[in-house]
Amino acid sequence: MSFLKLFPAYFLTIIHYIFFGLLLLIFHVVQVVAYNIFGAEAHKKSVDLLNFALLLNFYTILCRWSFYGVEKLPLNKPLIVVSNHQSMWDAPAIVWSLRKHHIKFISKKELGKGLPSISYNLRKGGSVLIDRKDREQSIGEISKLGKTIEQNNYSVCIFAEGTRNKAGKMRPFKPGGIKTLLENAPSALVVPYVVHDNYKLHKRGYFPLGIGKHLRFSVLNPIDRKGFTDDQLIEMVEKKIKDTLGQG
């Protein structure tokens, strides 16, 4: 495709990244002030606002978004949210759509430093940072997070493929982290969460981004774990997400 045909995508992507960077810088300061002066609840609200602003920033590349099924989730139960993973833009959608559920993340330790707003929130907002090369450390951190969501009726999101898949085709789930959460949050419901279209942003990589896309995110029916082994449950969640994506 010629440069002239792609020029709108290049131009709008530059605008998108400028606003993306500014939002991270501005909200980094907002988060620090909120956390250190007003406490954890104010910090959470600042993070919610940041992620809503990041969603609004999709308008710079002429994209819109839709959420389906969030109303299915109870507010008085811990949730283990299992999602496919297509893009670094998955997280803002998940945070905003599940803001009433105090969503936490399991992230690689490298994200815990160097990224304005993102690193600070991962360190201060109750998420955990794991060393993928240190199995004992990873299991320990995930176990603590499982206990935390169990005690506080919070939620955790785990990207069960282990890494992003920019082509949209789901990779097989890695069950270890899910099983650790299930063990340490015995009353949690399991929630399949489907990211449908974020891979379409990256058909030409990160520059330019795809423009004019409809980005969709679906919360499927929460699963009561009674009567299922962990392996059966994980297989069921993986199948439900694949079927929703048309990859069954």
- State the helix-helix crossing angle for 3-33 and 40-56, rounded to 10 degrees: 170
| Residue 2, amino acid | S
Rounded Cα distance, 233 and 239, in Å? 10
Instruction: Tell me whether residue 131 is in a domain.
Output: yes
Q: In this structure, are residues 136 and 170 in contact, taking their beta carbons and an 8 Å threshold?
A: no
pLDDT of residue 164: 78
19 in a structural domain? no
Is residue 13 included in any domain, yes or no? Answer: no
Quote the pLDDT of residue 3: 61
3-state DSSP of 112-146: HCCCCCHHHHHHHCCCEEECCCCHHHHHHHHHHHH
Q: Give the span between the Cα atoms of 38 and 40, in whole angstroms.
A: 7
| CATH number of the domain residue 109 falls in | 3.40.1130.10
Q: Which domain holds residue 236?
A: 63-245
**Residue 15 placed within a domain:** no
Contact, 202 vs 209, CB < 8 A?
A: yes
pLDDT of res. 2: 65
Helical (H) or strand (E) element with 65: strand 64-68
Evaluate whether residue 29 is within a structural domain: no
Is the residue at 27 inside a domain?
no
Count, residues in the chain: 248
- This prediction has a pTM of 0.94
Extract the tokens encoding 223: 């699963």
Instruction: Please report the sign of the dihedral spanned by the C-alpha atoms of residue 25, residue 87, residue 209, residue 205.
Output: positive
Question: What's residue 82's pLDDT?
Answer: 98
The pair of structure tokens assigned to 170 is 């789901």
According to the model, what pLDDT value does residue 103 have?
Answer: 96
Task: Provide the number of structural domains found in the chain.
Answer: 1
* Percent helix, percent strand, percent coil in the chain, to nearest 5: 55, 15, 30
Is residue 63 a contact partner of residue 215, using CB atoms and an 8 Å limit?
Answer: yes
Which residue bears the tokens 């530059």? 14
Is residue 178 a part of any domain in this protein? yes
Asked whether residue 16 is domain-assigned, the answer is: no
pLDDT in tens, 215-227: 999 999 999 888 8
pLDDT in tens, 21-39: 999 999 999 999 999 999 9
- Confidence (pLDDT) at 1: 57
Q: What is the pLDDT of residue 52?
A: 98
CB-count burial class (<10 Å; 0-12, 13-18, 19+) for 231: exposed
**pLDDT value for 203:** 87
| Ranges of the chain whose pLDDT falls below 70 | 1-4
